[in-house]
A and B are shown apart, each in its own frame.
Chain A
Amino acid sequence: DGGITQSPKYLFRKEGQNVTLSCEQNLNHDAMYWYRQDPGQGLRLIYYSQIVNDFQKGDIAEGYSVSREKKESFPLTVTSAQKNPTAFYLCASADAPIPYDGYTFGSGTRLTVV
């Protein structure tokens, strides 16, 4: 079955550490997205990519980095520059440039700073 796989489900980060969240899709979608969700707030776009080897900053990109070396994969690195990284992170994919079939989301990664 086609879908998006995010791993790990739970991740703990120490102060000053960089951590990487994995997102893999087998839907043959060109576009991939990372969102952050905080309690009581809506989803906010961190980064997106519409084609391999290209990506763009979203609304809250500071303290994050991404790469898109393969169509299927869009890993997100939360760097030590991100001062408040504790949140629920969601990855999504869609057709590009027009998402005719809508967006598909993964099951999320919950990141906690310890």
Chain B
Amino acid sequence: KQEVTQIPAALSVPEGENLVLNCSFTDSAIYNLQWFRQDPGKGLTSLLLIQSSQREQTSGRLNASLDKSSGRSTLYIAASQPGDSATYLCAVVDYGGATNKLIFGTGTLLAVQP
């Protein structure tokens, strides 16, 4: 059974710092991995999608990498800003069984201090 874990569970950094969020998964048989952001009381916003054949994706100050063989992904945020404060979730699409379901990690709560 696929399990997704995120470390750390919470992180507080001063503004301007570069930071890395970690995501690990137990089964490398995935179609893709997606990073989301969730603000309090809001829905999930997709940040980056990495297909299983890709190694990384970039969008602005965000860079996500994928190492399927080791079951790891990292989300790198450059020059963090207070507006980056949110919960970050990674999720994998697991190709097992009749349905390809999205399996979520436990999340990292990020606080960027001004």
A108 touches B49 (CB 8 A): no
Q: A99-B31, A107-B43, A108-B42 are in contact. Are A48 and B104 (CB under 8 A)?
A: no
**From residue B33, how far is it (CB to closest CB) to chain A in Å?**
9
B100 touches A99 (CB 8 A): yes
A12 at the interface (CB under 8 A from B): no
A48 touches B43 (CB 8 A): no
B104 touches A43 (CB 8 A): yes
CA distance A104 to B91 in the complex (A): 12
Most chain A beta-carbon contacts within 10 A, residue among B46, B89, B105: B46
A110 touches B44 (CB 8 A): no
B99 at the interface (CB under 8 A from A): yes
Q: Is the interface of B mostly helix, strand, loop or mixed?
A: strand
Q: For this complex, into which size category does the number of interface residues on chain B fall?
A: 20 to 34
**From residue A2, how far is it (CB to closest CB) to chain B in Å?**
13
Partner of A50, one of B36, B49, B95, B99: B99
Q: For this complex, into which size category does the number of interface residues on chain A fall?
A: 20 to 34
Task: Name the residue of chain B whose CB is nearest to the CB of A37.
Answer: B38
B21 at the interface (CB under 8 A from A): no
B114 at the interface (CB under 8 A from A): no
CA distance A94 to B93 in the complex (A): 11
Q: A48-B99, A105-B44 are in contact. Are A98 and B31 (CB under 8 A)?
A: yes
User: Chain A 98-114 against B: per-residue CB contact (8 Å), 1 yes, 0 no?
Assistant: 11111111111010000
Q: Which 9 A-B pairs have the closest CB atoms?
A: A105-B44, A102-B49, A107-B43, A108-B43, A102-B34, A105-B43, A43-B104, A42-B104, A106-B43
A residues apposed to B, CB below 8 Å: 6, 33, 42-43, 45, 48, 50, 56, 88, 90, 92, 94, 96-108, 110
